[in-house]
């Protein structure tokens, strides 16, 4: 059976949902092996085994002092060692960049933004801001694919493996920018925006008060998003922006509150399974794509809904 190499970066105490999804997807193509960077705790090693990983490649050198280049050198070295049928990475900014450079190193094609990868390595992705779905294939070298969150539902393997660790020589990674300082952001306790099954997003109509948005997001166990107008106004951090120049999300449920739904915003969320819109302007374009729309004041509708959800959940 061919192997599929998955890049796992700094899981911390437990593998993230996105990492578990990549391992689950890898098993539908071949035998998962991992290029692993960061501390390997016993719990993480056990989970890797539960997900069928029999071989773990670890780097010979520190990869965290410089941007992208060291990790690309490591993934390429691990791929040379594993000779996999494909390499899978998360579809983050960094994941795409590592894939980009690994592709040049391995003389291999790269496909980003995958929402599915079939056993014959046909990749499904949305293009032009979700207006087309294409099937694409890599025609040269080892397919390198960055996969979006929620492509599959994570599940452990039928039979657990015991991961064997192999160290691979990273070698000279070439010129790279030094990371001279890293400021960690405070954890919100909410799921990551791109991974969340539910996103509640606010825009200009919040008037700067995101508490009704956060309240409903928490009642639904979802992430908080925002329109560009809201992030440009400084009401919420830029990383919450959903849209053409922000994050693209495909959750099960997207609640748009106080957002008109111009093309810039639509580009980031129109592949959501169900869209709910709350806006006090009945002419907002967002209602054209909403499965359920409420013309009303978000500051009244959202808290009422949040309270009702909590009441029903007991």
Partner 1 sequence: MNIVVLVKYVPDAQFDRHLTGDPATVDRSESILSELDEYAIESALQLAEERGGPKAGNRVIALTMGPAAAATAVKKALQIGATEGLHVNDDALAGSDATGTSLVLAAAIRSLGDVDLVLTGMASTDGETSLVPAQLAERLGLPQLTFVASLELDGTTVRARRDGDTHSDTLEAELPALVSVTDQINEPRYPNFKGIIAAKKKSVATVTLADLGIQPTEVGTAGAWTAVRTAEARPPRSQGTIINDEGDAGIRLVDFLAAQNLL
Q: In the range 5-64, which residues lie near partner 1 by CB under 8 A?
A: none
Q: What three-state secondary structure class fits 123?
A: strand
CB of 168 to partner 1, least distance (A): 19
Binding to partner 1 (CB under 8 A) within 184-213 occurs at 184-185, 187, 192-194, 198
Q: Does 302 bind partner 1 (CB under 8 A)?
A: yes
Pick the binder of partner 1 from 14, 179, 211, 281 (CB under 8 A). 179
Taking the least distance from each CB to partner 1, the nearer of 1 and 312 is: 312
Taking the least distance from each CB to partner 1, the nearer of 155 and 179 is: 179
Q: What three-state secondary structure class fits 61?
A: coil
For 20, other C-beta atoms within 10 Å of its C-beta total 22
Q: What is the residue whose two structure tokens read 């909410």?
A: 190
DSSP state of 247: B
Taking the least distance from each CB to partner 1, the nearer of 46 and 133 is: 133
Pick the binder of partner 1 from 113, 154, 215, 218 (CB under 8 A). 113
Pull the structure tokens for residue 21.
Answer: 């999804």
Binding to partner 1 (CB under 8 A) within 73-92 occurs at 92
Pull the structure tokens for residue 150.
Answer: 């929620």
Binding to partner 1 (CB under 8 A) within 233-262 occurs at 238-239, 244-245, 252-253
Pick the binder of partner 1 from 94, 154, 215, 218 (CB under 8 A). 94
Distance, CA of 30 to CA of 46 (rounded, Å): 20
Taking the least distance from each CB to partner 1, the nearer of 45 and 105 is: 105
Taking the least distance from each CB to partner 1, the nearer of 55 and 235 is: 235
For 46, other C-beta atoms within 10 Å of its C-beta total 13
Pick the binder of partner 1 from 14, 43, 104, 155 (CB under 8 A). 104
DSSP state of 255: E
CB of 263 to partner 1, least distance (A): 6
Identify the CA nearest to 169 among candidates 48, 9, 40, 35.
Answer: 35
CB of 175 to partner 1, least distance (A): 5
Q: What three-state secondary structure class fits 265?
A: helix
Q: Does 116 bind partner 1 (CB under 8 A)?
A: no
Taking the least distance from each CB to partner 1, the nearer of 52 and 103 is: 103
CB of 40 to partner 1, least distance (A): 20
Taking the least distance from each CB to partner 1, the nearer of 55 and 260 is: 260
Whether 280 and 261 have beta carbons less than 8 Å apart is answered as no
DSSP state of 243: S
Identify the CA nearest to 87 among candidates 70, 67, 107.
Answer: 107
Distance, CA of 158 to CA of 230 (rounded, Å): 46
Size of the residue set binding partner 1 (CB under 8 A): 97
Which stretch, 19-27, 33-41, 66-74, 158-166, contacts partner 1 (CB under 8 A)? Answer: 66-74
Q: Does 293 bind partner 1 (CB under 8 A)?
A: yes
Binding to partner 1 (CB under 8 A) within 127-156 occurs at 127-141
Q: Does 225 bind partner 1 (CB under 8 A)?
A: no
Burial of 266 by CB count in 10 Å (0-12 exposed, 13-18 middle, 19+ buried)? buried
The overall longest dimension of the chain from CA atoms, in Å, is 61
Pull the structure tokens for residue 43.
Answer: 């719990």
CB of 307 to partner 1, least distance (A): 8
Pick the binder of partner 1 from 112, 116, 157, 190 (CB under 8 A). 112
Kindly state the helix (H) or strand (E) to which residue 18 belongs, with its residue range.
Answer: helix 17-27
């Amino acid at each position: 059976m061919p192997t599929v190499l998955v890049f796992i970066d700094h899981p911390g105490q437990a593998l993230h949902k996105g990492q578990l999804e990549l391992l689950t997807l890898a098993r539908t193509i071949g035998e998962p092996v991992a290029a692993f960077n960061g501390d390997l705790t016993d719990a993480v090693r056990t989970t890797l085994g539960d997900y069928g990983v029999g071989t773990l490649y670890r780097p010979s050198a520190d990869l965290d002092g410089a941007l992208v280049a060291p990790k690309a050198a490591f993934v390429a070295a691990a791929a040379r060692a594993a000779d996999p049928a494909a390499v899978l990475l998360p579809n983050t900014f960094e994941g795409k960049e590592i894939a980009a450079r690994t592709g040049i190193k391995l003389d291999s094609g790269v496909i980003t933004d995958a929402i599915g990868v079939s056993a014959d390595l046909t990749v499904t992705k949305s293009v032009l801001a979700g207006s087309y779905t294409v099937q694409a294939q890599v025609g040269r070298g080892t397919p390198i694919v960055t996969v979006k969150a929620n492509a599959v539902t994570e599940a452990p393997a039928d039979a657990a493996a015991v991961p064997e660790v192999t160290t691979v020589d990273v070698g000279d990674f070439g010129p790279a920018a030094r990371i001279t300082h890293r400021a960690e952001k405070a954890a919100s306790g909410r799921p990551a925006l791109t991974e969340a099954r539910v996103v509640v997003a606010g825009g200009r109509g919040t008037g700067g008060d995101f508490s009704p948005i956060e309240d409903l997001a928490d009642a639904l166990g979802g992430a908080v998003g925002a329109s560009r107008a809201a992030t440009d106004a400084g009401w919420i951090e830029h990383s919450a922006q959903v849209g053409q120049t922000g994050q693209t999300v495909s959750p099960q449920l997207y609640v748009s509150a106080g957002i008109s739904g111009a093309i810039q915003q639509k580009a980031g969320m129109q592949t959501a399974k169900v869209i709910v819109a709350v806006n006090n302007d009945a002419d907002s374009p967002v209602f054209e794509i909403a499965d359920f729309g409420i013309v009303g004041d978000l500051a009244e509708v959202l808290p009422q809904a949040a309270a009702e959800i909590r009441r029903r959940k007991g």
